[in-house]
Structure 1
């Protein structure tokens, strides 16, 4: 179904996260146009549900009131937004453009400035919650940009997430996501070390997770990734190659601030080792393999 009173949404990046996020918007009645590098099953499912297809980012923007991107790497975002056939080449004045990729705070500020010169508004709005959060419309959304643009976007964000916070001006959403990834990096490393210790001590891993979860050591990393670590299930909810991208941005930002973060540095080394041994497409729980 569709509702002409709702803003037309353009969505680019129909991946593990983007497909369910776009699906929630379509299910809510938003006229939806999508673009993606390929037309696989996730894209086809949205087209079957009534979404329209755009051949280029420029065409996507031209057909939309609000455009959302969730892509892989900062260079992808830069090309899709600023390329010759990019979003800003096709966007009409007044269009709201939202990047939900985890990307560089400095790039977010650059995109906001470029959008303003076209008479458009831009927000950086990275998310946390992984595939389950995207599937259940329960994402945490951290937003940077002007307050008026945030007010326009908030009803759209509410279709995809449960925790929606305006963190400040352009780049503030990305800085908040870096803090999130820094916290996760040490947390998932700690879970891997705890379960490796428990295994070496002869304990039953599942019982250890059950014992620790209600106490001070309890965390999403423990309860969601801990059982996968124990089972040797490295299927990705969030790929190591994408996490390494995030950690690289965090390291660069911390260095620019003159801030030493040794936990971040150590976890990055372990994830680089895992990527070298198992490949970058495994899930972040694969860090436990570094302790075998």
Structure 2
């Protein structure tokens, strides 16, 4: 049952993740307004009943809830601030939710600006990749006020199943950076394990049968290793976006005077791939670095 005061959702950004998230909201009966830089990326949603808006200002001025899922912190800045941005055009007492992985300090800035205009703000980055987005089983990490979180929880429930309010504004972003730091080193281990299996003359798929359910088990091992084995590098999550996330995490860690050797190594390997033109591939393409002669 769709709550009347949450009935119209504006969704900005319909890429790999955003399109599936918006689609799940449509399927649940919400009225969904969409805007993205390239309208063609929203055509499938429009055909299913989403309403196209020519600008974020038009979208925010009609939505009870405005959700963004864009690429970089610079994109977040662009769509939220200024005369034609989301904050200045949002309806009073409406909700704005940035689900992009972005900087904690930017999330705090959005919160303060929105609060001054009587608009409720949450930062709510996600984890689970294209698989989680399609199935509505994303992990959603939220920063903001408890009463605001409670109000929009029914919307989060449509897109995810592990939904946790982590603390004040920016806390969702800090939690997502913890997630990315954990993945960064894990991806190195997954790649090394697969290449080791191949060089030892083993069937890597059979190896996965044994190790995914044991102590080595991880989301990346279960979901991305099979893609590595079949040379499927289509993006569930782009290398270019993972580099962005790791760079934000590294910057935040340095601000806290924290050492992150695993993160730094993973970032350097992915940057090496990006320099070879692989930035549009999925993160599982890291195995190419280990397979090079």
Q: What is the TM-score normalised by the length of structure 2?
A: 0.96
Distance in structure 2 (CA, Å) of the matches to 1:288 and 1:5: 47
The answer to which of 166-175 and 277-286 deviates more is 277-286
Aligned to 1:129: 128
8 Å contact from structure 1 (residues 123, 143) kept in 2: yes
Tell me how far 1:45 sits from its aligned partner.
2.1
1:253 matched to 2:245: no
1:35 matched to 2:22: no
Residue 159 of structure 1 aligns to a residue whose secondary structure is helix
Distance in structure 2 (CA, Å) of the matches to 1:3 and 1:128: 26
8 Å contact from structure 2 (residues 57, 89) kept in 1: yes
8 Å contact from structure 1 (residues 213, 223) kept in 2: yes
Aligned to 1:50: 49
8 Å contact from structure 2 (residues 6, 152) kept in 1: no
8 Å contact from structure 1 (residues 3, 29) kept in 2: no
Distance in structure 2 (CA, Å) of the matches to 1:235 and 1:215: 27
Distance in structure 2 (CA, Å) of the matches to 1:121 and 1:264: 34
8 Å contact from structure 2 (residues 62, 91) kept in 1: no
Residue 45 of structure 1 aligns to a residue whose secondary structure is helix
CA RMSD for the aligned pairs?
Answer: 1.5
Distance in structure 2 (CA, Å) of the matches to 1:221 and 1:151: 31
Q: Within 5 Å, which residues of 2 pair with 1:37-186? A: 37-40=37-40, 42-186=41-185
Tell me how far 1:18 sits from its aligned partner.
0.7
Distance in structure 1 (CA, Å) of the matches to 2:164 and 2:37: 30
Count of residues paired in the alignment? 291
Distance in structure 2 (CA, Å) of the matches to 1:290 and 1:53: 41
Q: Deviations over 1:51-95 (max 9, x none)?
A: 212111111111011100000000000110003311112112101
8 Å contact from structure 1 (residues 6, 31) kept in 2: no
Residue 110 of structure 1 aligns to a residue whose secondary structure is helix
Tell me how far 1:6 sits from its aligned partner.
4.5
Distance in structure 2 (CA, Å) of the matches to 1:192 and 1:210: 16
Q: Unmatched 5+ residue regions in structure 1?
A: none
Aligned to 1:272: 271
Residue 213 of structure 2 aligns to a residue whose secondary structure is coil
Residue 155 of structure 2 aligns to a residue whose secondary structure is helix
Distance in structure 2 (CA, Å) of the matches to 1:241 and 1:83: 27
8 Å contact from structure 1 (residues 4, 31) kept in 2: no
Aligned to 2:237: 238
Q: Unmatched 5+ residue regions in structure 2?
A: none
Distance in structure 1 (CA, Å) of the matches to 2:68 and 2:5: 22
Q: What is the TM-score normalised by the length of structure 1?
A: 0.96
Residue 237 of structure 1 aligns to a residue whose secondary structure is coil
Distance in structure 2 (CA, Å) of the matches to 1:26 and 1:235: 25
4+ runs of 1 displaced by more than 3 Å?
Answer: 2-6
8 Å contact from structure 2 (residues 6, 65) kept in 1: no
